[in-house]
């Protein structure tokens, strides 16, 4: 619940984080918030129109006005057109109803978190609780088919009581003690949050407790009476990326304005934060200055308030657990004439390392097929999640004298995707393991390192998989690189409709896992589903990502085009029946596909996309992604950005396929102006363009399951029609909507 150490992969863009196998965001994707409690830009980071002389030729600059009268009228007109074209009639309502069934299903697995007090905590949404319940139960209850949950916060009731459109964001529980927590809520689902202290014993918000007004904030416990906090303290307190530039140590009962400053970063930094590790016997405080999206300066904060540099490479991920320091390299590193490659995982004694000793042990080293995806600590062991040609493998490592013993993690089923849901190093060596595949519903297991593994939950199938299969192929990209992709389809299907998705950025991996919405709304209706593991992602480690950053971004586009061409060459589809979909950074990918490879596809869906690469860094959190894309203010960088920026490469008279843009007025990470301006420009040239903008929902474009279901139904209805599929427009499920 509370981060005990800094890992810069909390900066990474993780497509479809937590609940989907696609790259559609659930409060994630481009510029995943720098911690779980930060996100939106503050006032002052909106577009500074006058600063760009080059933008004088942008006829649609006015559409960046977030909620002006003219832009509001334009959005309403476009929404009406799209709803009239695709969202009317029984077919759409039936599809939406079935998707909503999947999202609200009572037999979904509630994935819990542990926070050191022995309870299983869970946040749950269903038809009766669209905004959700934060609740907890015991292990014995959780084992039951229908556990009894102790509801701590009913967000629907709270929203009604306070007259606010509250959307749950996250919670940070005090360790040790576990009697207080800090709850973050957003208005409408954006990244900006309010923070309130909650008493877990009294089950009530604490009157006069720690509280922050709406802002992009980062806050965490030091002890019961102190927190570290970064927020909007007023003019000059936020970076140009819209994240906290100043962090303070705040004592209970004192004004926030009087809290002493712990650290100040620079205006052009991405973010500054501090946190406390309360592990008994290993209590430490840290400060991190994020110089850009991938580089940071890390400091150990002493009891006197002095800062001692933790001398890890600036672009490395690092983590502390008890006496150990983990370092996962993004670039090669030479220490005492020993070269450690990018993607390697190293371990050292933390105190010795800070004191100058460089005794490093290699825990993992990548090869051509295998990369480190993640790691999780139990009290006495380290669990590694590896990807071998995009198939998950888990290993458990145990320190033994001066070495580490390595063995497979027991109880991992032979499915394509397995991951650790949660561990609790405060209590012991237990872990929760989730496993699934494209056609295998999730299974949740409780394991004990060195002990038994039991199945706690098995989710029923959301769609009929009879006759379906999953195959992995490799396409050859323009430079000869082999690019893996998965195809899910009926085994005996002939050439037909295919939905291809990808992401290709921020070292985010697209993994094979179960998605009931894809299954019911697409696969069960006869469509094939394809996930492309293109460069820019993390499927093969840092080098796979670095191959498509900045001036090398077109490599991701070439990879995606190669997969599309390979599908056609294998006879799995035709260009007219190949639809593509991507969200956030994946929306940028879709824009590039539209303008660079229009003849490869029959329809395009781009959700919450980046499209104007001339101004992205001037809009909301865009400045934080300069390390990924480049700086448009630099002539050299703009030269390569201009070469692929979708908004700047729209041309008249091209064979562009139909395109649907979906975004949100409340997206305070990727500005809706990207999608608005692109839709308007395409419309001016007479192209087939559809546009829908939800009022709320933040970067996920939906604040609840009803909005989520509407967006999903809109996507599939659009694709089904535009790909000229003659099959009756019905989902492949068991139920029909009520009259």
Catalytic residues: 584, 699
d(CA 377, CA 431) in angstroms, rounded, equals: 9
d(CA 522, CA 733) in angstroms, rounded, equals: 11
d(CA 502, CA 583) in angstroms, rounded, equals: 9
Report the side by side order of strands in the sheet with 120-126. Answer: 120-126, 129-137, 150-154
Q: Is 456 exposed, middle or buried (0-12, 13-18, 19+ CB in 10 A)?
A: middle
Q: State both tokens at 381.
A: 């062991």
- Residues 6 or more apart whose CB falls under 8 angstroms from that of 664 comprise 189, 608, 672, 693, 694, 695, 696, 697, 698, 699, 700, 701, 702
Element containing residue 102 per DSSP (H, E): helix 90-104
Q: Which among 597, 590, 537 is positioned nearest to 565, based on CA atoms?
A: 597
Element containing residue 167 per DSSP (H, E): strand 166-173
Q: What are the beta bridge partners of residue 223?
A: 226
Q: Decide if 530 contacts 487 (C-beta within 8 A).
A: yes
Q: State both tokens at 567.
A: 């599908």
Length of the chain: 739
Terminal C-alpha separation, the chain: 43
Dump the DSSP string for 225-271.
Answer: TEEEEE---STT-B-TTSSB-EEEEEETTS-GGGSPEEEE--TTSSE
- Residues 6 or more apart whose CB falls under 8 angstroms from that of 217 comprise 37, 38, 184, 193, 195, 229, 230, 231, 232, 244
Q: Which among 510, 516, 548, 506 is positioned nearest to 531, based on CA atoms?
A: 510
DSSP 296: E
Half-sphere exposure of 695 (CA within 13 A, CB side): 7
Identify whether 176 is preceded by a cis peptide bond (ω within 30 of 0).
Answer: yes
Q: Decide if 139 contacts 120 (C-beta within 8 A).
A: yes
Q: What are the beta bridge partners of residue 580?
A: 500, 604
d(CA 202, CA 53) in angstroms, rounded, equals: 58
Q: State both tokens at 304.
A: 């006197």
Dump the DSSP string for 178-210.
Answer: -SEEEEEEEETT-S-EEEEEEETTTTEE-TTSS
d(CA 256, CA 196) in angstroms, rounded, equals: 14
Q: Which among 450, 415, 451 is positioned nearest to 434, based on CA atoms?
A: 415
d(CA 406, CA 449) in angstroms, rounded, equals: 12
- How many angstroms separate the Cα of 459 from the Cα of each of 196, 347, 548, 588, 734? 34, 37, 37, 34, 17
DSSP 24: -
Half-sphere exposure of 231 (CA within 13 A, CB side): 24
Residue with tokens 């994707």: 29
270 Rama sector, left if φ>0, alpha if ψ -120 to 50, beta otherwise: alpha
């Amino acid at each position: 619940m509370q981060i005990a150490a800094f890992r810069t992969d909390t900066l990474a863009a993780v497509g479809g984080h937590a609940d989907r196998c696609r790259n559609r965001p659930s409060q994630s994707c481009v510029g995943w918030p720098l911690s779980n409690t930060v996100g939106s830009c503050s006032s002052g980071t909106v577009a500074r129109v006058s600063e760009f002389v080059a933008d004088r030729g942008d006829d649609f600059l006015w559409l960046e006005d977030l909620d002006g009268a003219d832009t509001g009228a334009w959005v309403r007109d476009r929404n009406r057109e799209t709803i009239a074209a695709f969202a009317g009639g029984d077919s759409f309502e039936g599809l939406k109803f079935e998707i909503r069934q999947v999202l609200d299903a009572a037999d979904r697995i509630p994935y819990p978190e542990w926070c050191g007090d022995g309870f299983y905590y869970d946040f749950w949404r269903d038809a009766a609780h669209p905004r959700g319940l934060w609740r907890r139960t015991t292990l014995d209850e959780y084992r039951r088919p229908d556990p009894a949950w102790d509801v701590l916060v009913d967000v629907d009731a709270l929203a009604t009581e306070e007259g606010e459109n509250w959307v749950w964001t996250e919670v940070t529980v005090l360790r040790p003690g576990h009697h207080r927590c800090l709850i973050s809520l957003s208005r409408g689902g954006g990244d900006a949050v309010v923070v309130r202290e909650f008493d877990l014993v009294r089950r009530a918000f604490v009157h006069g407790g720690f509280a922050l007004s709406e802002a992009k904030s980062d806050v965490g416990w030091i002890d019961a009476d102190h927190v570290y906090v970064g927020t909007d303290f007023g003019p000059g307190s936020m970076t140009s990326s819209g994240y906290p530039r100043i962090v303070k140590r705040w004592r209970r009962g004192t004004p926030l304005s009087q809290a002493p400053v712990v650290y100040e970063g620079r205006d052009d930094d991405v973010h500054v934060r501090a946190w406390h590790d309360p592990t008994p016997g290993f209590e430490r405080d840290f400060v991190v200055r994020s110089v850009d999206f991938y580089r940071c300066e890390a400091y150990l904060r002493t009891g006197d308030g002095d800062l001692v540099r933790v001398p890890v490479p600036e672009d490395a991920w690092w983590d502390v657990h008890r006496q150990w320091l983990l370092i996962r390299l993004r670039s090669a590193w030479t220490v005492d004439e020993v070269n450690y490659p990018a993607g390697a995982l190293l371990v050292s004694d933390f105190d010795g390392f800070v004191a100058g000793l460089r005794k490093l042990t290699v825990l993992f080293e990548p090869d051509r097929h295998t990369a480190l995806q993640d790691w999780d600590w139990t009290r006495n062991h380290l669990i590694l999640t590896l990807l071998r040609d995009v198939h998950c493998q888990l290993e458990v490592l145990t320190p033994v004298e001066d070495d580490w013993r390595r063995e497979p993690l027991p109880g991992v089923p032979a499915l394509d995707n397995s991951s650790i849901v949660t561990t609790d190093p405060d209590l012991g060596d237990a872990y929760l393991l989730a496993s699934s595949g494209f056609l295998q519903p999730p299974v949740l297991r409780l394991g004990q390192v060195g002990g038994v593994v039991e199945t706690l939950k098995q989710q029923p199938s959301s769609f009929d998989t009879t006759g379906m299969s999953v195959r992995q192929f490799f396409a050859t990209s323009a430079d000869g690189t082999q690019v893996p992709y998965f195809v899910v389809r009926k085994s005996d299907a002939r050439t037909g409709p295919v939905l291809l998705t990808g992401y290709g950025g921020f070292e985010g991996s697209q993994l094979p896992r179960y998605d009931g919405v894809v299954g019911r709304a697409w696969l069960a209706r006869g469509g094939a589903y394809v996930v492309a593991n293109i460069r820019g992602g993390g499927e093969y480690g840092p080098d796979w990502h670095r191959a498509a950053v900045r001036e090398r971004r077109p490599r991701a586009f070439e990879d995606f085009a190669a997969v599309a061409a390979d599908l056609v060459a294998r006879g799995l589809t035709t260009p007219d029946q190949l639809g593509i979909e991507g969200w956030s950074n994946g929306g940028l990918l879709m824009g590039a596909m539209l303008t660079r490879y229009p003849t490869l596809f029959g329809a395009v869906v781009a959700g919450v996309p980046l499209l104007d690469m001339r101004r992205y860094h001037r809009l909301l959190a865009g400045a934080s992604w300069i390390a990924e894309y480049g700086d448009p203010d630099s002539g050299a960088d703009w030269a390569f950005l201009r070469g692929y920026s979708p908004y700047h490469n729209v041309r008249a008279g091209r064979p562009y396929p139909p395109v649907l843009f979906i975004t949100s007025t409340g997206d305070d990470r990727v500005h809706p102006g990207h999608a608005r301006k692109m839709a308007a420009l395409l419309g001016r040239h007479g192209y087939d363009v559809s546009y829908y903008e939800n009022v709320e929902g933040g970067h996920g474009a939906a604040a609840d399951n009803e909005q989520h279901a509407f967006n999903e139904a809109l996507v599939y209805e659009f694709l089904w029609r535009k790909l000229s599929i003659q099959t009756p427009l019905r989902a492949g499920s068991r139920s029909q909507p009520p009259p």
